[in-house]
Every structure is written in structure tokens, then in C-alpha cells.
Chains A and B, each alone.
Chain A
Amino acid sequence: MIMAQTLYDKIWQAHDVGQRIDGNSLLYIDLQLLHEVTSPQAFEGLQLANRPLWRVDANLATPDHNVPTDGRELGLSGIKDEVALTQVLTLDDNCKKFGVEQFDIQDVRQGIVHVVGPEQGATLPGMTIVCGDSHTSTHGAFAALAQGVGTSEVEHVMATQCLVQNKAKNFAVEVSGTLAAHVTAKDLVLAIIGRLGTAGATGHTIEYRGQAIRDLSMEGRMTLCNMSIEAGARAGLVAVDDTTIDYVKGRPFAPKAEVWDQAVAYWRTLVSDDEAVFDSVLHIDAAGIAPQVSWGTSPEMVCGIDGSVPDPAAMVDPIQAESAGHALKYMDLQPGQKITDIKVDRVFIGSCTNARIEDLRAAAAAIQGGRKADSVKEALVVPGSGLVKAQAEKEGLADIFIQAGFLWRAAGCSMCLGMNPDQLGDGEHCASTSNRNFEGRQGYGGRTHLVSPAMAAAAAVAGHFVDVREIN
């Protein structure tokens, strides 16, 4: 009898090359995504050791982390920071030298790797995917085993097409019920991380299951899987269904004709067996989730918009109390302060978590004909790719943002990590649709609050956090 398998077990098995001499498993990798920040040292290592790239067609590159989001029409000369320019040029050179397909800075398909891969159909169900970026977990929305790796592993995959890895454990996050109106995948994943903690799924691959997950669009599923790493998980997964297949169909890199049918037949098997056993399970009811806002310096420090900043003195665990105390000091918030009383200095709508077309539609709708509050210094909208940007312009979303006093920019990571000129100022509070509220992440001394696109846009108009369920 064949043991019942989880989705993760199946993908693992389909890529398990065997054991290396030291007993570790070799996992075959189907796709490696490359960007300018974590690939140069890997390409250099490869050349120093005089090794070829194992499989050129399994690599796809685009610059995203440090590209400026304005002056894009200037191309490379729009990059004022010399070191950033060096990184982008190095990626260009390496791609040419090794024959890797790249969407360069002036290509309309350029964008954040995790937006670009799915958009092009380069991300396919059942694949194993790596990228030197922890949010590679995004691609798990397609039932692809997608993991972030360090630069040495990037080089290892370049040279061998394999990752040396031991299998992770299986974690099921079961989400029953239906999300309330205006409550999104972002709110759901923040609520899950709030429950699990930032290390709650360490050593595990999470599979998101249940009705609320089936109801999500592919874009929502990407948002969800994107933040799996914030719960410590190696990867996040959602099983294949019609939503997955409909999304992939017709994309430039997707299989065509009879190969398509063959692929679909296989993809349909990418679901956990009914009898499959998970090492850990978390049950959560979607109906009880309010729009979320993070108040601290770790994604687990989060609460509903109707809540207030917690009191470290009331926390039982001394380490948790100390972390919360540190966080409140850094964030300059008071215990008991209502979330809706937190004023916002800047707003950032973008990142691989929330910069796809649906995110921009939700943000534009939440503006409700209003304008950016005068007290808000800047509201930045950065589409996830050049194609998302073009689509948003076609739909009139860009006009809505611009008329409301928001800044409309070109694609890239931007203020998600502030490697380019888009940064938070010291002490500024930001309503951000990104994924990390770590100290200084968006700029030195900056204070990040993680929210959904609609919540960010509504905060830009009100000047402080507001409940999107009430303004509609």
C-alpha cells in the first residue's frame, strides 16, 4: 500500500535525486530566479572555480531590489547610486556571459522577481524554485515548492541544479469559513503569523487549506504564501485547483497545445491525499478576522484595527514582554493606545506581497474620491512589474492615485527595503503593504506598520489608521 502523502511530500518525491555521499538529500531545482543583490558573488564563485552553469534555461533574471522607481525612462543613467549601478551592470554582464534570459531595467516585463515569475508563467505548478531572496515562498501559491536561499546555495544550484537539503516537516494551516468583506489575504496571513509567532513554523513547510483558501484568487494566495517565511516556515503551499490552472493558461512561458493537456493532467494530482498526516496543525476561522495592523518590530506583533497597542507589563512570558517593550520604545507607541489613533507620515503601496493588479485595484477603491491628507508627507504607489503598471494605467487606476495626490512610480522593491532612494525618514510612521516591520527596514529609524493595500490607501486619506469596513 502506498502511504498517503501531503502535497509537499509529492513535490519532494518528484525531485528527490538521491543521497549525496554524506547522506544528505539532493533536491533537483527546476527554476532559479536571479536578481542583482544576491547573485553577483555566486556568479563570481562559479567563474573562479571555472564551472559552467548547469542548465541555462532553468534561470531567469531581473533587477529589482535597488532600482530607482523614478526616472525609469533614463534607463541605466537613471541610477544615481554608483554601487547600485554596479550591481545592475554586473547582473547584465553575467546574464550575457552565461546566456541567462533577463528582463532588464528597460524591459516592460521587468519587476519584482516574485511578481514577474508568476506573471510570465515561468512559475508552474509542481516546480521546485529557488531564489536568493526569502520571499521566494510566494510561488508556493501555485503548488510549487519555492524556497529562499543564501548566496552560497544560489551558486550551488547554478553549478549542480540541486539543493542539498533534508526534508522539512508538514504543517497544515486550516482556514475555515469566509473572510468578511474588505478583509484580505494580507489580513489573514498577518493574523496567522500573530497566532504562530515568527518562529512558529520553523523547520516546516506550511500548506494552507480550507474553504477560505479555496476562495482566494491566485493573487491572494501569493500574498499568503509570500509571508510564510515570516512564520519561520521554509515554504508555503496551496494545492492546485481550477483557479491555479486558469491563471497559468496562456501565459508566455506556460506549456502549449498537447503538452499543456499533459501538464494539466499531472498538476491535478498536486493536492494532499485525504488521509495524509501533518506533523502540526493550526485551525483558524476566517470569519473572525478583522483588518490587521502591526504595532511592533516583528510581523507577529500585530492586532486588529479595532484593537489597541498591548501592554508589555501584562505579558506572562518575560522574553516576549521584553521584546514588546523594546518594540514600543522603537515605535514610540504607548500601551493601550488605540490603533486608529496612530498617525501616519508616509504610505507605501508596493512589494512582492501586495503590488499586483488586484492590490492596486483595492487600494484605488479605498481612496473613495478622497485625497491624501496634508499631514501625510508622501503616499507612494509602486507596481510590482512594468506589466502591472501598464495594466493599472489602462484601467484608470493610475489616474485615481495621481488625482488623490499619491505618487505613481515604476516597478521595483522600492521602500519595501529602501535600498533605492525610496526610504522612510527617522521616526516616521509608515502604513506599508510590505512584509517586514523590522527596525530600520524601510529606512534608518523608520517605523513600519504592515497592512493591506486598502488599509494603506485609507490611512493615506485619513492621516491615521481607519477601519476599511467602516468607510465603505
Chain B
Amino acid sequence: MDAFTQLEAMTAPLDRANVDTDQIIPKQYLKSIKRIGFGDYLFDAWRFLDQGTMGMTPNERQINHEFVLNLPQYQGAGILLTRDNFGCGSSREHAVWALKEFGFRAVIAPSFADIFFGNCFKNGVLPIVLEAKIVEELIAKSNGDFTLRIDLESQTVTDGERVYDFEIDSALKQKMLNGMDDIAMTLEEVELIETFEAKHKTSQPWLFRG
């Protein structure tokens, strides 16, 4: 997994609450057996006026020039600012793959949906929870040349003037900082798992069909 230490990038505001993963990446683009190729379809129904299909490039599409991510001033943004409960709905990890491929390495919101939040950490995308009031201020300041600097080690977000602290689970933080692979980490506990499994098989034998 890609590590995440620091990021200095322009912000783009997505001023909506409850943005669900069906919006982040619509179902017609889940027809793939790969982890790549989703960035062109991020927020597809909002970015484009026509209905696309997998394989079409943005050049072939009808752009919705009013949608925030299509405004000239937000091109190249790397931090998404949004509202409560971002990433709710379907568990599709494709939502995180699409955000990352599009160029977002961090998302800041007052709250996130659980599964989406976990999926971010599997892919080196940092979800940051800040108070609603602060997010509101940052959204108001996001005019196209507003940049934020995120430092995971010190758990801070700064706009050059003010510094905002954020909380993060220490284990998740270490994993992100070092870009560690979850499976490899868990496999270091093979003995623990095998011991548990043997005991479990004795107490609930009906759970083992093999």
C-alpha cells in the first residue's frame, strides 16, 4: 500500500451531506475485474450530462460545466472537503480507487460512513475528521487557490495561518505512515490464529464443514 506522510494540495469543496458510494462511482463502472480504471468515472452522474459506459474517456463525454470539480479553478485539487456521512451506502472499494485515481489523496469531512472509512486506509487515502464548523470555514475559503498542508505524523492540517489538529487511531496512523500491508501484518500472527482456530473447532464443530 502507498504510504501517506504529508500532503500539500489545493482543496475542492463538495458541499453536500450523505454523499453515497453510488454517487462516487456508479454501478455501471463496477463491471471490471481490476483495481484500476475508475478515475474517469468519479462522481460520474454529476460530472457529466450524458450517460457513460465503461471504457469511454472524458473527451467523448458531455461535461457538466456547472459541477464544482469541472470548474477551471479546481483543476488539480488533491484534497476533497465535504459534509457529514461521506461514503455511505454500498461497500464498493471502487469508490476509494476512483477518488485516488482522480487525484484525491485526502478527504476532510465532519464524519464518514464506516466501511468507506476503513477502505480508505487500505489504499493510502487519508480520511480526516474535523468539526463541522471548521469544515464549513474551509469550504467557504476554498476558492481555487486555497491550499492545505496535511501532516499525518503531527496530526495537523494547516492553511498557513491556522493549524487544526485531528484525531486518528494510532494503529491506523502507523499503517498509513509506513504503507504497511495488512495481510502481511496479520500473517505474522499465524500461530495465534491457528491456536484460536483449533479451540474454536472443538467448541463449535458444526462451523467446520471440511
Interface residues of A (CB under 8 A from B): 14-15, 17-18, 20-24, 26, 28, 30-31, 37-38, 40-41, 44, 49, 51, 55-57, 65-66, 81, 83-84, 86-87, 90, 124, 126-127, 132-134, 148-153, 155-156, 159-162, 164, 166, 198-199, 202-203, 232, 234, 253-255, 259-260, 262-263, 266, 298, 319-320, 322-323, 326, 417-419, 426, 436, 438-441, 444-445
Contact = CB atoms under 8 A, between A and B. Distances in A.
Given A148-B115, A440-B45, A22 B88 contact: no
B109 to A, nearest CB: 11
Interface of B: 16-18, 20, 22-23, 26-28, 30-35, 45, 51, 54, 83-85, 88-94, 96, 111, 113-115, 118-119, 122-123, 169-171, 174-175, 182-183, 185-189, 192-193, 196-197, 200, 203-210
Nearest to B34: A41
Contacts of A266: 203-204
B207 A150 contact: no
Nearest to A46: B183
Contact of A263 (B23, B92, B204): B204
Given A323-B16, A419-B27, A23 B196 contact: no
A417 B30 CA distance: 11
A21 B23 CA distance: 36
Nearest to A127: B207
Contact of B30 (A148, A159, A419): A419
Contacts of B197: 28, 55, 161
Nearest to B51: A444
Contacts of B30: 37, 65, 419
A439 B45 CA distance: 9
A18 B190 CA distance: 11
A167 to B, nearest CB: 13
A410 to B, nearest CB: 20
B20 A438 contact: yes
A38 B85 contact: no
Contact of B33 (A44, A166, A260, A418): A44
A203 B88 CA distance: 12
A129 to B, nearest CB: 11
Given A22-B171, A41-B35, A441 B22 contact: yes
A49 B88 CA distance: 31
A263 to B, nearest CB: 5
Given A90-B33, A153-B118, A202-B113, A24 B171 contact: yes
Given A44-B33, A199-B113, A298 B18 contact: yes
Contacts of B54: 83
B119 A152 contact: yes
Contacts of A254: 206
Q: Which of B83, B170, B200 has most chain A Cβ within 10 Å? A: B200
Contacts of B185: 20-22
B186 A38 contact: no
A418 B51 CA distance: 14
Given A166-B169, A444-B51, 6 more contacts: A87-B33, A124-B207, A164-B182, A199-B85, A266-B203, A418-B27
A426 B171 CA distance: 45
Nearest to A148: B91
Nearest to B92: A38
A438 B22 contact: yes
Contacts of B31: 37, 66, 81, 83-84, 86-87, 419
18 contacts: A18-B196, A21-B189, A22-B171, A22-B175, A22-B185, A28-B200, A56-B210, A57-B210, A87-B31, A150-B91, A152-B122, A198-B18, A199-B113, A232-B88, A417-B22, A419-B27, A419-B31, A440-B26
A-B interface, 9 closest residue pairs, ranked by CB to CB distance from nearest: A57-B210, A152-B122, A40-B33, A255-B206, A150-B93, A83-B31, A150-B119, A22-B171, A199-B85
A236 B53 CA distance: 35
Given A22-B175, A126-B204, A199-B88, A438 B23 contact: yes
A86 B30 CA distance: 12
B92 A150 contact: yes
Contacts of B89: 134, 436, 438
Contacts of A202: 85, 111, 113-114
Contacts of B51: 426, 444-445
